[in-house]
Each structure stands twice: as structure tokens, then as C-alpha cells.
Homo-oligomer: A and B are copies of this chain.
Amino acid sequence: MELHKRSSSYCSSAPENYLVDMMNEIKIFSPATVANVACGFDVLGFCLDNVGDNMVIRKTEKKGISITNIEGFDLPYETELNVAGVSALAMYEVLDVDFGFEIEIYKNIKPGSGIGSSAASAVGSVFGMNELIGRPFNTTQLTEFAIKGEALASKCEHADNLAPALFGGFTLVKSVSPLKILEIPTPNELYATIIHPQIEIKTSEARAILPSKVALSDAIAQWANVGSLVHGLHTNDYNLIKESLHDGIVEPYRCKLIPHFKEIKESALNVGALGVGISGSGPSIFSLNKGLETANKVKDAMQNVYKNTGIEFDIHVSKINTDGIKIIG
């Protein structure tokens, strides 16, 4: 990896580094994300606005990376076993500094919910560290570090949640090796509704049920949809976005893991959702909608399905977050 270092060392007392040197602690909001986006299995993703974790990253005299507080969910404190710790270590290994970092994680995104819980942790630590040392790394480089953390959770190196969390908006991971991320424009009126039934699906299991081969005709339909979704996002064509949000490859397998998937999907489409799909590897189900009003109607429709079945759930309505991860203190 090419490191875009400033010419001075990280702890230089040169005037341009004064503020950086003074800033020893940063609080960030690390957003939840939706990967796959129906037709774009393993490549597309988008970023949510009001769902995410808070994290504090702090410079310490002690060298190394340590995790000092975790709230919200029961996750390991051992750096090497924690997603945020592993991505932080990946960055730390290429730094030549005489200090360390400690990480506090205030987790709101339930692990295994399918809206990028591990990705939020993985990007949070490296984004925060990068800010504290004067941003020597660009966003793609941060994604490369975060991939190492993400791999701990999902057993494979992928970036389809990491990219939208770091870049914001819609992203397309063109390739992982070399890592190439495209920022696709986000039409202004797009809102997501996400329902999370309180069941657990492990990413590794959700991957295992997929076939290794797919019908060429299905693959052709899928790449037609990916191309037309990208075109629809560029041209603010909500009808085309609607017509492109289909998944004939993965959904037929994974929908069986999610109770009442078909009713949820039908109920959302009936009240005007542009499209509905499995968020990441599930169990969360997302819809994309034109306008907040429709997104709220979809929320009502989706939750009515689970209310009648006794399945516990969370539900969120969110504008697409075009900024991505951000400093909040």
C-alpha cells in the first residue's frame, strides 16, 4: 500500500500540525450500512443516516492498541479478537509512532443484524486514528485496513459494508484486490426503511447456502440490473431504480432464512416501496423509497407483518447518508 505520508513525522511541531497534536481524543459516529442492494451482491452498498455506533479513539502514551470500554453488546476486549481492534492493528503496524491508541465502543448496531455491525466497528477505529494523526491515509487505504477487521467477523475479505460506511452514499466495490471503490451518486429523495427481526443468521452460514454456480441467464439479468441501477442513480430515475432492484441470484436461497420475508416484501411494495431486498446476509430486510412519506408508510406496513406474528423486531427509517462516518466530538 502506498502511504500518503506528510513529509514531517506525525508528532512534528510544525505549525500545520499544531491542532492535530493538540487533539488526543475523538468521538465519532460510525454508521450502519446496507450491502448487496438487491441486484448488487458483493459489490453494492449504501450508508444509513441515523443508525450507527459511537466510538471514542484516544491517543495514549502506552504503545499498541487497547480496547478500554465496550457498551451495548458483549464483545471481546482482546484486541486481536475484536473487529475494531484487528483493523486498528492493521493500520498501527504500518505506522512508525511512539504512542498508542485506546478505543471505546458504544455499540448500537446489534452484531449479526445484517446492517454492517462489524463494518461499523472496523471502520470506526481506523477512521478515528487517522483523524488523530493528521489523515495520512486516504479513504480507500482506510478501507484496506478495515477489511482485516471485517474478515474476522465474516471469515472473508469483503468491503461492501465498509465502503459505504467510509465514503457515504452508494458505493460499488469494483474489486477487492486491488481495492477499487466507486462513489455512485445518490438521488436526493431516497429513503431506506429497514426492519430487523430478532433472529440470528451468521454471515458464514448465509454464504454457505449459496450455490457455487448460477444459471448464465440469471447472471445476465443480474448484470443488466446492476448496470441499470447505476444508470438510474446517475440520472435520478426513480422508476428505473425501482425496475432494477431485483435479485434473482441470492434472494431465492437466503429468503428462506428470514421468517415472513415474502409478506414483508409484498407489504412494502404494496404501499409504494421502490424495491425490497435482504440487507447484507440478513436477517434485516431493507426497502428503498422515494420520499420520507413513503418510507414511513413502508415502516407501518412492514411492522404490521411482524406484529401479527409475534416476532420481535427493530425498525428504522433513514435518509441515505451521503457523508458516511463522521466526527461528533
Binding site for B on A (CB under 8 A): 39-44, 172-175, 180, 182, 184, 210-216, 219-231, 234, 240, 243-244, 249
Q: Which residue of B lies closest to A228 (CB)?
A: B174
Chain B residues near A219 (CB-CB < 8 A)? 214, 219, 222-223, 249
Q: A172-B228, A231-B182, A244-B174 are in contact. Are A210 and B216 (CB under 8 A)?
A: yes
Question: Is there an interface contact between B210 and A213, defined as CB atoms closer than 8 Å?
Answer: no
Question: Is there an interface contact between A212 and B216, defined as CB atoms closer than 8 Å?
Answer: yes
Q: Which residue of B lies closest to A42 (CB)?
A: B220
Question: Is there an interface contact between B214 and A216, defined as CB atoms closer than 8 Å?
Answer: yes
How many copies of this chain are found per oligomer?
Answer: 2
Question: Is there an interface contact between A182 and B215, defined as CB atoms closer than 8 Å?
Answer: no
Chain B residues near A184 (CB-CB < 8 A)? 227, 231
The contact of A226 among B41, B210, B226, B243, by CB within 8 Å, is: B226
Which of A39, A40, A173, A231 has the most chain B CB atoms closer than 10 A to its own CB? A231
Assembly CA distance A226 to B224 (angstroms): 8
Q: Could you pull out 22 A-B pairs where Cβ atoms are within 8 angstroms? A: A43-B224, A43-B227, A44-B227, A172-B228, A174-B224, A175-B221, A175-B224, A182-B228, A184-B227, A184-B231, A212-B216, A213-B213, A214-B214, A214-B219, A216-B249, A219-B219, A219-B223, A222-B223, A227-B227, A227-B230, A230-B231, A234-B234
Assembly CA distance A304 to B172 (angstroms): 39
Question: Is there an interface contact between B216 and A216, defined as CB atoms closer than 8 Å?
Answer: no
Assembly CA distance A44 to B180 (angstroms): 22
Which of A213, A224, A225, A227 has the most chain B CB atoms closer than 10 A to its own CB? A227
CB A295 to nearest CB in B, in angstroms, measures 25
Chain B residues near A231 (CB-CB < 8 A)? 172, 182, 184, 230, 234
Assembly CA distance A227 to B219 (angstroms): 13
Q: Which residue of B lies closest to A221 (CB)?
A: B175
Question: Is there an interface contact between B39 and A224, defined as CB atoms closer than 8 Å?
Answer: no
Assembly CA distance A225 to B174 (angstroms): 7
